[in-house]
Structure 1
Amino acid sequence: MASWSRLGRVGNLAATIIAVAGCGADDVPLTPEPGVAARKVTVIRGDQTYPMTAEVIDWETRPHPQVPERGMAVHITYRFRSTSSDSSAISEHVELQACAVDGRRVVLLCTSIFNGSSKDCWLGPSADPDLARTADVLILPDQMYAGPHAGDPKDHDGYVPPRNLGPGDQL
């Protein structure tokens, strides 16, 4: 009789653990998959489309002028443009990912680009991954900046940016 009682308690304990483990699962925001990468994208933040585009104007693979001995690097020139007559949208802080990819659109290396900073940047230098294999530079459309109150349950709006991509990810 004692073994049946103990088995019942173990079953109740297991049911309680499973029920508690499920509590709050809906409160944890899921990290969304990144949007479709391209040389020119319309900026998005979740379900919101910004009146703004980001575009890779030019890119080239060459040694970085400050550390040429460290391998090849990719120099990117880009721009953000407003698609609206309201210029306030372009002044909002926007951070996107730009990635150097090989011929099969496998990510070699990524960096962040910003609408309020200089309009060129460097990826690398790097020998691993070999940036000399770069076939294109693509931008992901998703806003990566979660906002000034990210992590604050009272003031944060709940937006969760997609995960950062890295070497080996397929676009």
Structure 2
Amino acid sequence: MSAFAAATLTGCFAPGGDEEREPGPAAKDVTVVRGDATYPLTAEITTWEVRPHPQVPDRGDAVHFSYRTTKKAPYLPETRVELAVCAVDSADIVLLCGTIAVYEEVGVPRTEDGDTWLGPSSDRDILSKTARVLLLPDQLLGDGHANDPKDHDGYKPPAVPTPGDRLRTR
């Protein structure tokens, strides 16, 4: 059996360009992108701190962070935007990632502030190594039908990084 056929049968190769996209460079503040399209939306981490989560303080440290989103146009091209946010160590190795969501609603101000938590982790001491909290610029919501050209544009978002992954940063 040829190497191509063996790779296809084992799922190591996906013909037709379905390979996993690498997320864009992470930063404290990002402009949201969806593939090659730039959204009229920026997001930034405004503050963060490592401390026990108030609901489960006995499970170790968590990261509490605040963020701000700013719409640069009267409306967003999607009704909801979801971004990955990651706590990383000093070498930009992912400790834990989560997501934040921005909703397009009538009457919602152009600039919104929010806060949430990452963790605690199953490794109760891992988040104490947090050196930075970073956002990834990529819209995480795909269209759900990547191979249906009549209904969708085929956008397939990158996967959310997992603990141990190294982020590209800017």
TMscore range, shorter length: 0.7 to 0.9
**Residue 127 of structure 1: CA displacement?**
5.3
Q: Distance in 1 between matches of 2:122 and 2:161?
A: 19
- The answer for the alignment partner of 2:98 in structure 1 is 111
- The answer for the alignment partner of 1:96 in structure 2 is 83
Per-residue CA deviations over 1:97-125 (Å, capped at 9, x if unaligned) read: 00000011100000011113981111001
Distance 1:150 1:77, change over 3 A: farther
Q: Distance in 1 between matches of 2:17 and 2:93?
A: 30
- The answer for the alignment partner of 1:146 in structure 2 is 142
Give structure 2 stretches of 5+ with no counterpart. Answer: 104-111
1:157 corresponds, among 141, 153, 159, to 153
Instruction: Determine whether 1:121 maps to 2:116.
Output: yes
Distance 1:126 1:157, change over 3 A: same
In the alignment of these two chains, the number of paired residues is 151
SS in 2 for 1:126: coil
- The answer for the alignment partner of 1:75 in structure 2 is 64
**Residue 26 of structure 1: CA displacement?**
4.1
SS in 2 for 1:27: coil
Over the matched positions of the two proteins, sequence identity in percent amounts to: 49
- The answer for the alignment partner of 2:109 in structure 1 is none
- The answer for the alignment partner of 2:106 in structure 1 is none
Out of 74-83 and 64-73, give the one that drifted further: 74-83
Give the structure-2-normalised TM-score: 0.79
Q: Distance in 2 between matches of 1:49 and 1:26?
A: 27
- The answer for the alignment partner of 1:5 in structure 2 is none
Give the structure-1-normalised TM-score: 0.78
CA contact (8 A) 1:37 1:138 kept: yes
Distance 1:90 1:122, change over 3 A: farther
**Residue 28 of structure 1: CA displacement?**
4.8
Q: Distance in 2 between matches of 1:89 and 1:44?
A: 12
Q: Distance in 1 between matches of 2:77 and 2:52?
A: 33
**Residue 63 of structure 1: CA displacement?**
0.3
SS in 1 for 2:80: coil
Q: Distance in 1 between matches of 2:147 and 2:19?
A: 17
Per-residue CA deviations over 1:83-107 (Å, capped at 9, x if unaligned) read: 2xx3212873101100000011100
Q: Distance in 2 between matches of 1:118 and 1:150?
A: 32
Per-residue CA deviations over 1:7-48 (Å, capped at 9, x if unaligned) read: xxxxxxx58x95xx69xx543522211100000000000000
Give the counterpart letter for 2:59 in structure 1: R
Instruction: Determine whether 1:66 maps to 2:62.
Output: no
SS in 2 for 1:119: strand
CA contact (8 A) 1:52 1:90 kept: no
